[in-house]
Amino acid sequence: MTSAEPRLERILFTEEQVNQRVDEVAAEISAHYAGRELKLIGVLKGSVFFLTALARRLTVPVKIDFLAISPFVNPAGAPGVVRISKDLDEGIQGEHVLLVEDIIDTGFTARYLLRNLASRGPESIGLCTLLDRTTRRLAQITIDYRCFEIPDRFVVGCGLDFKQLYRNLGYIAVLKPD
Q: Nearest Cα to 86, choosing from 71, 111, 69?
A: 69
At closest approach, how far in Å is the CB of 176 from ligand IMP? 13
Which stretches of 14-167 are DSSP H helices? 15-32, 48-57, 108-118
At closest approach, how far in Å is the CB of 55 from ligand IMP? 19
Q: One of 105, 132, 144, 161 is an active-site residue; which one?
A: 105
Are 137 and 166 spatial neighbours (Cβ–Cβ below 8 Å)?
Answer: no
Reply yes or no on whether 178 is catalytic: no
At closest approach, how far in Å is the CB of 142 from Mg ion? 18
Q: What residue type is 23 in one-letter code?
A: D
Question: Considering only residues 73-112, where is the footprint of Mg ion by CB under 5 A?
Answer: 102
Tally of CB atoms within 10 A around 17: 15
* One residue of 18, 40, 42, 46 binding Mg ion per CB under 5 A: 46
Are 150 and 124 spatial neighbours (Cβ–Cβ below 8 Å)?
Answer: no
Identify which of residues 30 and 65 has a Cβ nearer to ligand IMP in the complex: 65
Residues forming contacts to ligand IMP in the complex (CB under 6 A) are 46, 80, 101-110, 154-156, 160-161
| Interface residue list for Mg ion (CB under 5 A) | 43, 46, 102
